[in-house]
Amino acid sequence: MDNTNITRREFVGTVSKSAAALGVASLVSPLYALEPTGTGYVYDDRMLNHIITAGHVECPERLVKIQEKMKSTGLEKQVVNLPLFTDPMTYIKNIHSSTHISSVQKIPNTCVAAEVAAAGALGAAKAVCEGKVRNAFCAIRPPGHHAHNTGKEEGFCFYNNVSIAVKYVQEIFKIGKVLIIDWDYHHGNATQDTFYSDGTVLFFSTHNWNDYPQTGDPAKTGSGAGAGLNINVHLAPGEGDDAMKKAWNEKLLPKVQSFKPDMVFISAGFDSRIDDIKGKLKVTDACFAHITKLALDIAKTYSSNRLVSLLEGGYNVDGTASATVTHVAELIAGSTGAGFMHTLRRCDRAFINNTVLYLPEAARSVREIRITSANGSIVKTVTRSVIDNGKVYLNRIGLAAGSYYVTVGMINGENQSFGFVLTK
């Protein structure tokens, strides 16, 4: 098992102690001041060796064309190449039975590619949770969202990469609630089945219900602890951007507001794109850019920007490459530190930079500000008299060195809370 994981809290604690030892006065916020930048990218040539049958649509050229497009657009120089996870089998076993794994391991080349794909998903999730990058895209194959434990290929899938990565971040990084967005043309039935009664995962899938695997009934909304957390949206052949946007606006976004995910994953299947060989929808690259931005907004608002996207389907190799680089370009645009701070300074969310607490909407909608210790005891209630043009200078209000949480009470809307560490 990989034992090099550290949590964001451990990292912040280490940095804070180092600053104190050096006599440096600094205020570090684990959510904002140390916010990572950059988009991670996962790829490995060994995934090209996997071939189901000669001429099969799930072919190595899918990744070849993506790599070519990444290079020709210059995006390959704008991403952070991430290493694979060193021991994927430990976490593959959280999702797949030993019988299933043994069957896959008997398939030459495919066994390696499938394990590499899972290692890529885990490596990306690890990098995002450790704060090495803000978000990540995994150019991987074979895809995974149809893979159960049948001991054979299902819908071109062998290991359920996204489910493996989700279970990993929940176990190792104690990520509580996860949103999985699946925009593949085909319903992610295995992902749905994994988390259908889980209660910690909101699964949102847009797909053609009548095509393979003919699951994805909109009436299937989850059971037990997962009741209401499974959202299936049927898109009929010929539908495109408007139907996709409507699904997000009417089904996903309202649910996200109450669910509040701690991390976002995307099963990015581009067979829902116009002119795909297997898909019958007409979603354009412009729409993929739009919904990528929405996913980034969700991650920014609720998930400390943590987002990992994994390639699923997409069988028009040129079209898939085009949609992929459009998607990656938006991830890059949403991962830069400058862009992040610019967005925050529009003050839709409170944040801390250096020793200053910036309040949303120039403090007009702020009811109160409470600072509590790590054990929940109120240390300071900030009065309006110390708010200076929408800012509170925390080094002027008499706080001792230590760990704190600040809660900004809003007149309209939910309170905003996050932790910080003050060293002197």
List, by residue number, the catalytic residues: 146
Pairing of β 366-373 and β 378-382: antiparallel
Q: Side chain identity at 89, as an amino acid letter? A: M
**Residues 6+ positions from 54 with CB-CB distance below 8 Å:** none
Structure tokens at 222: 């989850």
How is the beta sheet containing 26-28 ordered, strand by strand? 26-28, 416-423, 402-410, 366-373, 378-382
Note whether 120 and 84 are within 8 A (CB). yes
Q: Give the residue among 87, 114, 117 at the shortest CA–CA distance from 102.
A: 114
Runs of H (alpha helix) within 176-310: 189-195, 241-247, 253-259, 285-302
Residues with Cβ < 8 Å from 192, sequence gap 6 or more? 203, 205, 215, 216, 220, 230, 232
Distance between CA atoms of 100 and 66, rounded to whole angstroms?
Answer: 30
Query: What residues have CB less than 8 Å from 346, skipping those under 6 apart?
Result: none
Residues 6 or more apart from 179 whose CB is under 8 A from it? Answer: 201, 202, 204, 256, 259, 261, 263, 264, 265, 298, 303
Q: Enumerate residues 6+ apart whose C-beta is below 8 A from 122.
A: 84, 85, 88, 91, 164, 165, 168
Asked if residue 131 lies in contact with residue 117, where contact means CB atoms within 8 angstroms, the answer is no
Tokens standing for 256? 């996200």
